[in-house]
Amino acid sequence: MKQLVLSFFLIFAFACSNNSNKMNGTNSKPDSLNQIIEKENKLPEIEMYTEMNFTDDSLVELIRLDSSFLVNLPYASDSNFTKTKLYPCNKCVIRYKVALALIKANNLLKEKGVKLKMLDCYRPLSVQRKMWEVYPNAVYVADPNSGQASMHNRGVAVDVTLVDMSGNELDMGTPFDYFGKEAWPTYRNFSAEILANRDLLSNTMDMAGFRHSNSEWWHFSLRGVFFPIEDTPLPCENK
C-alpha cells in the first residue's frame, strides 16, 4: 500500500512538473503575463549619465547624477499659486556646479535620516514671464524684465524642503509658496520642532555653499556663481 501511494505521488509530481515545464516553455501566454507583472512591479528606470565631462555651467538633470533626491515640482502640475501647469514635465534641471553642492547637502542630511525634496530648480525665462503675469510682486516673484530676472532662470537657485527616508515632508511651519511673513527665515514664532527643521535645512544648505532667501524658507542659491539667463526648455522628451 505504501508503495502504491508513493508511485501515485511520483506520477502526480511528474504530471505537475510536466505541466509547469509547458507553462515556462514554448507556451507564450503565461510567460507574457509574468513579464507584464514583472514590469508593473519595476520602478521606472533612470538612465544615469555615463559620460561625466560636464563643465560648471552644464545644465544637468539632478537625479541622473544621484537618484536619491525626491523630485516633485508643483509647477509641473496646476497645484501651485498660479493654478496653471507651467512645466511640461517633472524634471529638476540645474547647473552642474550647483548639482554637486546639492549632492553634498543631501549626503549631510542623509546622515541625519532625512533628505532633500526638490520643489523647483532651473526655470526657463519664458516660464518666469508667465509667473510674473499672474503674480507681479517683486518680493516673491522676480521681475523677468528687470535684467536680473530670477536666480532660477540662471540655473543657480533651488526651492527645497526636507523629507524623511519614506518621503514624508517635515513640518516647516508654512507650505511652499506661502506669501507672508511666516515664510521668512527670520520669523521664529513656531514650535521648537518646526524651528529645528528649518535650522537643519538652512544650516546644511549653508555648509554646502548656499545663500538663503530673506523671504522664503525654501529658496537657496549657490554663493559665488553667476551664470547667464537661459530659456532652454526642460528635456521632457528624454525618459
Interacting residues toward Zn ion by CB under 5 A: 159, 219
Q: Which amino acid is at 43?
A: L
- The answer to whether 139 touches 215, Cβ cutoff 8 Å, is yes
Question: How many other C-beta atoms can be found within 10 angstroms of the C-beta atom of residue 86?
Answer: 21
Nearer to Zn ion, 41 or 186 (CB): 186
Nearer to Zn ion, 61 or 159 (CB): 159
- Nearest distance from C-beta of residue 177 to Zn ion, angstroms: 9
Nearer to Zn ion, 55 or 92 (CB): 92
- The answer to whether 209 touches 101, Cβ cutoff 8 Å, is yes
- Nearest distance from C-beta of residue 203 to Zn ion, angstroms: 19
Q: Which helix (H) or strand (E) holds 163?
A: strand 157-164
Nearer to Zn ion, 112 or 223 (CB): 223
Q: Describe the chain by its helix, strand, coil percentages, rounded to 5.
A: 35, 15, 50
| CA angle, residues 150, 155, 159, in degrees to nearest 5 | 70
Q: Which amino acid is at 207?
A: M
Instruction: Please state, in angstroms and rounded to a whole number, the distance separating the CA atoms of residues 40 and 171.
Output: 33
Nearer to Zn ion, 60 or 131 (CB): 131
For cell 561625466, the residue is 52
The C-alpha cell at 149 is: 530676472
Nearer to Zn ion, 30 or 175 (CB): 175
CA 62 to chain centre: 8
- Nearest distance from C-beta of residue 68 to Zn ion, angstroms: 22
For cell 501511494, the residue is 5
- Shortest-Cβ-distance residue relative to Zn ion: 219
- Nearest distance from C-beta of residue 79 to Zn ion, angstroms: 16
Treating both helix axes as pointing N-terminal to C-terminal, what angle do 192-207 and 96-110 enclose, rounded to 10 degrees?
A: 130
- Nearest distance from C-beta of residue 38 to Zn ion, angstroms: 40
- Nearest distance from C-beta of residue 150 to Zn ion, angstroms: 7
